[in-house]
Structure 1
Amino acid sequence: MRKERPLRIIHCFRSPIGGIFRHVRDLAEIHAKQGNEVGILCDSTTGGSYEDNLFDEIRPHLSLGLLRLPIDRSLSIKDLSAFWSSYREIRSLKPDVLHGHGAKGGAIARLIGSALRVNRYRVARLYSPHGGSLHYAPNSLTGRTVFGLERLLEFQTDSLVFVCDFERQTYSDKVGKPRCRAERIYNGIPDRDFETVYVRPDAVDFLYIGMLRDLKGPDVFIEAFAKAERLMRRPLSALMIGDGPDQPKYERMMLELGLARRIGMLPAMKTREAFSLARTVVVPSRAESMPYIVLEALAARKGVTASRVGGIPEMLGPDSIALANPADADALASIMVQSVLNPQWKTIAMPDPGKVKATFSASVMASSMMSLYHDLLPDVPERVVRNPETASSPPAT
């Protein structure tokens, strides 16, 4: 068995918000502690003080540094400048692995990796879609454009990495069956997060935590809360924690339904801190890939009710009584009522904690990812030549 050498790994993604950022932080921390060198390239125009604090936490693990530059969400002429700046920085870091996350990060990693190969430099090029572009309708102009580009970029991809079976199937349905290597490696969370979070004495009944935008379903949460109160014929309590562009709309909705005193709103905070504020976590998304909030809630031994979307059934179980059809406020309200009325609901509805940890731990995720990285690289003990401009080895194919 060969001894695996330390690798130089750069993760590329656009927005340092949400699940992609969490995924990269966990991989970076574990891989750095194993002796690998890790860096991050991402957008400089998104995120706020909360994300700045998260960068401060991960920065000690980034021996290859943190590069932030403007990267637009949509395709634009500015992408050329972002690509050139990224290429110059990445070339100087001489990476072994370029791992792109999301559509923009995936394009940057694969195009730059291919440019390095033109200069006779071997680098593994990986792409994790993470939902993102896969949400587009395949018959829309945007969808056809994006999926066409995804198909072309497969020729510059050493491996696709899907975080759940739903994501892999969606890619096949919308883009096409992968013509390059494709692996499914579940998201995972650190062992330290697999500890029970106990609720405070003043905890509310329900918690929504996440981005305040329609895709995530805050309006469905508010409507379901109102319906749950009517079903129970008594007031309930809830918190909505997060930030986002549609927050004023939800505040107006609560005022119109007379719920402003029973649903509080707080800015983004650490997830486990938020878990102590409520008994049951509600994830009412209209679309998802593999949301970390569900994994984190299960690890903290919280009760969870959620929409039957994305990879959520892979976490809760395909036949879970905690799942409601997306955008179905009546069904969601019924489950919320049962979670309050039945003291055994959480025990009955939630999966076995031991199985959750065995499947969705960050150590399992990072180990599987590292094995894939090494499998894609040349079987040599050390890379002697690292300068892509002076390398004399034959070009990789």
Structure 2
Amino acid sequence: MNQRILEKLSILADAAKYDVSCSSSGSKRKNDNGGLGNAEGMGICHAYTEDGRCVSLLKILLTNHCIFDCAYCVSRKSNDVKRAAFTVQEVVDLTINFYRRNYIEGLFLSSGIFSDPDTTMERLVRIAKKLRTEERFNGYIHLKAIPGASDELIHEAGLYADRLSVNLEMPSVEGLKLLAPDKKQEDMIKPMVYLKNEIVANKEERQVLKKAPLFAPAGQSTQLVIGATPESDFQILKLSDAFYKNMNLKRVYYSGYVPISNDNRLPAIGTPVPMIRENRLYQADWLMRSYGFHVDEIITPEDPFLDMQVDPKLGWALRNLDKFPVDVNTADLELLKRIPGVGVQSAQKIWQARRYGKITWDHLKKFNIATNRAKWFINLKVDDFQRKDYSPQQIKNAILQHGHSKYTPNYTPQLALF
């Protein structure tokens, strides 16, 4: 690889790290033509390893040149940073060469805006099309759908990409107007609506015509920047809930704002958003998507910020002690999933295992539950633990004393890919 390409890669890979909305699960693109790569079934299913390594998308910007001057963005036009841009062929060659060396299994490609949305989107589409049609690459491709680009280009992108994402960025119209006055929220919502309709139509078409072309089989996602403007967790989660219900989004990603300038509209340098706030938002999001919680059960306008000491599921249980202790031998699956310390898979194991006999505490300890929390909310005899009429605060304090504050279940790191 020549020095010029290496320099571009260094600049554009670094600039891409602020976009966390990448996920490869959900695609069903099979390699049945002798080409390269495979995104079959649940896709490549990237995840973080135990030591924090991420495997393995090539994640870059096509360019960090941009016509916009968004205060929160490192690539804004007024920022004094080194600029670079890949050609279409350079991105194709990088992807294929890295794939052949087993460095990556797919591509996540975003971009600043060159001169207008259509010009930028057209280049993104050309890259995906070349990979699919000329290189016969069947690995995972995630493209950024550029707000303001034509429906025709967005549609063509969906024919070659596994997932598309439109980043809403600011959680409110007021926040966007303050920090990105050149942008309009309706310009971001429009392609999201278009994608939702096209994805639904494609699924219906493929039920009739099995050989109909795929259209964004892994769906669409978005990203919200947290902490650059004063929106509460309640506002953020209500917005996410609306996206899941109305746009059929696969994921909403939360990116804590990293102070990058002394702009008086933004938090001061040296005051980044606490990582724990991102953590809690991801946990609350997980409860909505996988545990059957309604957003209003998790957070209310009267208490609009998530508890930083305990995860949202435990917080809900402490506010609803009248529903506990749960009889694990008779409770339905949905209630089992709501027991603090019991995950979705553990709840399913309990629900299935009790068909063969009565569940005991010794059984539960083998189901990978967090016993220090679960014991407060189930009706089984638990070793030497004596259940009394404890208050929510007493239970909370006892759990925290056992190190719960160090445990963050279902946390999705900034670049988690599942």
TM range (shorter): 0.3 to 0.5
Give the TM-score of the pair, scaled to structure 2. Answer: 0.35
Select the structure that is richer in strand: 1
Select the structure that is richer in helix: 1
Give the TM-score of the pair, scaled to structure 1. Answer: 0.37
